[in-house]
Structure formats: C-alpha cells, structure tokens
Amino acid sequence: MLGRLKKWFASSEDQFHESTSRISRLETILGFSIPNEHKGVYLRALRHRSIIDGKKVQAHDTYERLEFLGDAVLDLIVTEIVFEKYPVADEGFLTKLRAKIVRGKTLAHLAKQMQINEVMEVGERASGQGINVSKSVLADLFEAMIAAVYLTKGYTFTFSFVENLLKRHIDLESMEKKADNYKSSLMEYLQALNQPLPEYKVIDEEGPAHDKIFTVAVFLSGEFKSKGKGRSKKDAEQIAAEKALKELNG
C-alpha cells in the first residue's frame, strides 16, 4: 500500500514538472505569458487523443473539442483577412484562396514552423510512431491552439495573432497564383479533347493507421497514365493528376 502511494505521488510530481515545462516552452513559442487560470486550456490544446490510454483523461480533455472551435474561429479570421486584402476580388477567388490557407497542408506547415508539435502531449503507447509529424495531427493541433488563444485572449487579439503568423510564414502572393487543382485541370483538358474523364484508383497503402501514405494511379481511357503518393487520397490524386498533365503536355 505504502509503495503504491509513493509511486502515485512520484508520478503526480513528474506530471506537474512536465506540465510546467510544457507551458513554459509554449509561452516562448506563442510570445506571451499564460496565467495560471488559463494553463489548463492550453494543456488540453496540446493533448493528443492517445493520452487517454495511459492516464485518467476523458476525450473532452484532449484537443478534439478545441479543434472544433478553432476551425470555426480560423475560418472567420482568414475570411476577414482575404476580404480586406483583396477589395475588388470576386467571391470565387476569395473562396479558393481561403481554402488554400485553411487546408490541412497549410495549417500543418504553420504548426511545424511554430514548433508547437514539439510540446504536444502524446500517449506512451503512441510515442515514437510519428504522431507529432503527421500532417493531419499538426493541422488539428494548430486549430486547437487557435481556439485556446481565442478563449483566453479574445477575438481581436487572436485576429492579430493569426495575421502575424500568416505574414511571417505564408507567401499569399505565391499561394494565390499557384494553380494546384490539377484534377480539375486534367478534367478540363480531356473534356476539350472530347475524351473520357480520368479514373483514380488507390493501388497501395502503407504506414500506421494515423499516418498512412496512399499511392493512387490515374487511368485515361482505361489505361494507366501516372501515379502519385500522398498522406491523403486527395493529395495522392492531385500528384497523379499533375504528373499526367505534364506527360500530356510534353
């Protein structure tokens, strides 16, 4: 009995020091101090679902709920930013640019640039499985962090926080000009030639469930044309379509 109590107290002390260290590092990353009454929110924002297995933590104590809120807050902030930055742009342009900014690939890039993945809390069983570099996890982590900033600092501060992040880490001018919907381009190319639409098939999957890599092949008129690899089926399809277009255009 005494041995179990000693082990429990030692574990609690370790967790206290670990949480304190995590918050300290996060404050450096975010560039502002986090008051004691708000530290719990930020710790939840850093807590991956895998932590449920090894600790007495419920799903709502992970970043999942915060990710839901952060997604909505981020969408509104980015909408305002592009609306103000491009005063004469039409709805279609603004919608496409916003989608490029808030998509998982961009958010994962921001999370990595900020290095918030280095202070993410992951369960012991999942440790070393690449969770902290998974693009989908990084994107979720970023959205959860935006929610934490919004809840503790308010909308005006969060707006400036996101705006500054985009200025530092994202080249909007290049992003707006980049034509990266290769699937649409390939479809339009084939339609102009009165040829059948392309078909996409997943031909391989590798890696753990939380961080799979998909290989997708694109077939034109039933014949294999090219293939692409990506961390989602959509990404792999885009890469395959891009390669097919390059081959068709010489």
Region 181-203: mean pLDDT is: 89
Residue of higher predicted confidence among 35 and 48: 35
pLDDT at 249 exceeding the cut of 90: no
Give the least confident one: 26-30, 92-96, 143-147, 199-203: 92-96
Q: Give the pTM.
A: 0.69
End-to-end CA distance of the chain: 75
Q: In order of start, what are the domains of the chain with their CATH numbers?
A: 13-177 (1.10.1520.10), 182-248 (3.30.160.20)
User: 103-152 pLDDT, tens per residue?
Assistant: 888 999 999 999 998 998 877 665 656 666 788 889 999 999 999 999 99
67 pLDDT band (50/70/90 cuts)?
Answer: very high
Q: What long-range pairs does 32-40 form, CB within 8 A, spacing at least 24? A: 32/153, 34/152, 35/152, 38/148, 38/152
Report whether pLDDT(7) > 50: no
Q: Mean of the per-residue pLDDT values for the chain?
A: 84
Residues serving a catalytic function are: 71, 143
**Poorest-pLDDT segment among 18-22, 42-46, 64-68, 240-244:** 18-22
